[in-house]
């Protein structure tokens, strides 16, 4: 009984320690994927804002409205808070707004959002 209890305790402590290490690694990779994805959206949005401002017509007002909305969503995204409860919902909204903007601009983005939702494939 004594050895069983000690073995259990040692195993539990080692498993907990390995779980924390593995969790950190997974979190860092997942966070980097999300950051990369949002960074692509932000670069895309800023480039198009410059292009549309330089030749803004009445026809472009809806495009500009959606573009500014996307930029605002990106700027409000809680980068520093991985425990934020609505992180995935906000990320999905940003993805949807990006798709809407691409449709309005009649552009095919040169990257695709993966089926898992957080990765990019080039």
At 91-105, the pLDDT tens digits run 999 999 999 999 999
The full DSSP string for 56-83 is --GGGHHHHHHHHHHHHHHHHS-TT-TT
Does the model's pTM come out above 0.85? no
pLDDT class of 112 with cuts at 50, 70, 90: low
The structure tokens listed for 90 are 């906000």
At 55-73, the pLDDT tens digits run 777 778 889 999 999 999 9
Tally of CB atoms within 10 A around 102: 15
CA gap 11, 77 in Å, rounded: 40
DSSP H or E run through 11: helix 2-54
């Amino acid at each position: 009984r004594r050895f069983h209890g000690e073995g259990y305790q040692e195993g539990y402590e080692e498993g907990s320690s390995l779980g924390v290490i593995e969790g950190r690694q997974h979190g860092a990779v997942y966070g980097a994927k999300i950051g990369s994805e949002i960074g692509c959206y932000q670069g895309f949005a800023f480039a198009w804002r410059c292009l549309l401002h330089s030749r803004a017509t009445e026809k472009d007002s809806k495009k500009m409205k959606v573009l500014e909305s996307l930029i605002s969503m990106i700027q409000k995204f809680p980068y520093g808070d991985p425990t934020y409860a609505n992180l995935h919902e906000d990320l999905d909204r940003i993805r949807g707004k990006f798709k809407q903007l691409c449709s309005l601009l009649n552009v095919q983005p040169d990257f695709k959002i993966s089926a898992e939702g957080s990765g990019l494939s080039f």
